[in-house]
Amino acid sequence: MSSLTISTIQTSLHWENKEANLSMLEEKIMAIKEKTEIVILPEMFSTGFSMRPEALAEKMDGVTVEWMKRIAAFKRIILTGSLIIEEDGNYYNRLIWMLPNGQYGVYDKRHRFAYAGEDDHYTAGSKRLIASVKGWRINLLICYDLRFPVWARQQSQPEGPEYDLLIYVANWPERRNLAWKTLLQARAIENQSYVVGVNRVGDDGNGIHHSGDSMVIDAMGEVLYHKQEDEDIFTITLQKEPQETIREKLPFLKDADGFMLLHD
C-alpha cells in the first residue's frame, strides 16, 4: 500500500517581518517529532498577504529560498508554501516545492485576487505544477485558485487521473470561510482526490481576520482533519489504496468532458 505522510502548519504570521516569520516557522518545523515527508506552510508565509512586493520581494537566491533549502535538507522533508519573488522585473506570488537535495519546482499563482489589488502588483502564472513523490502525483495551487474549478480539474487521459492529491496554501479571510470549506470539499469530490488546504490564523496588517479552517479531505469529501482559529501542527498519513478503490468502483472521471487549458 502506497502511503504519504504530510504535516500542515496553521499559524499566525508577523506582518511583513521575514526574520520573525522564518524564526517562528523554523521552531515549529523542528518541533515536529513524527516522521513526515511533506511540510506545508500558508500562502506568503514569510510576510503575510502583502501588496508591497516592491519592498518585500526577493530573488530565487534570496534569504527565504535559502532558508527553505536549509530546513528541507536538515529535516529530510519536502517543504512547500508561497512567498513574494521578483524575476525579470515582475513580481510573483510563487509557491516553492523544495526537495531535501536542494532541487525545487515552482508554481506562480494563476488567479490573482483583484478584490485586494493583487492583480495590480503581481504577474499571473500560466503553468500548473504537478509534483511526483513516491508514486503520488500532487497538484499545487494557491488560495484564490480554489474558486476556479477548471484550473484544478482532472484531465481525462489513458493512464488515469492526473493527480492524487491537491494542495492549496492560503491567506483566506474568516469572513468568507464558508466558501473556503465548501470549495475544498467540492474540489475533492469532483476530482476524486485527496485535498489539503492550509490557511493562516489571526489578523493581518490590514486588520483582516483569518480563522484558519485548514482541512484534509478524502476523495469522497469526508473531512479527515479540520482546525478553526487555533494555531496547530497536524501530521497525517494518507493511503492511496482507498482512493484508487473509490475511483475504480465509482469511475466518474471517465465520463468527464474533454477540454484544453488555454494560457495567455
Residues involved in catalysis: 43, 109, 143
CA-to-CA distance for 175 and 65, rounded, in angstroms? 31
CA angle 21/26/30 to nearest 5° reads 155
Residues in the chain: 264
Is-contact 154 191, C-beta < 8 A?
yes
- Specify whether the CB–CB gap between 97 and 80 falls below 8 A: yes
Identity of the amino acid at 227: K
Q: Look up residue 203 and give its three cell numbers.
A: 489578523
Burial 5-37 (b: 16+ CB within 10 A, else e): ebbbbbbbbbbbbbeebbebbeebbeebeeebb
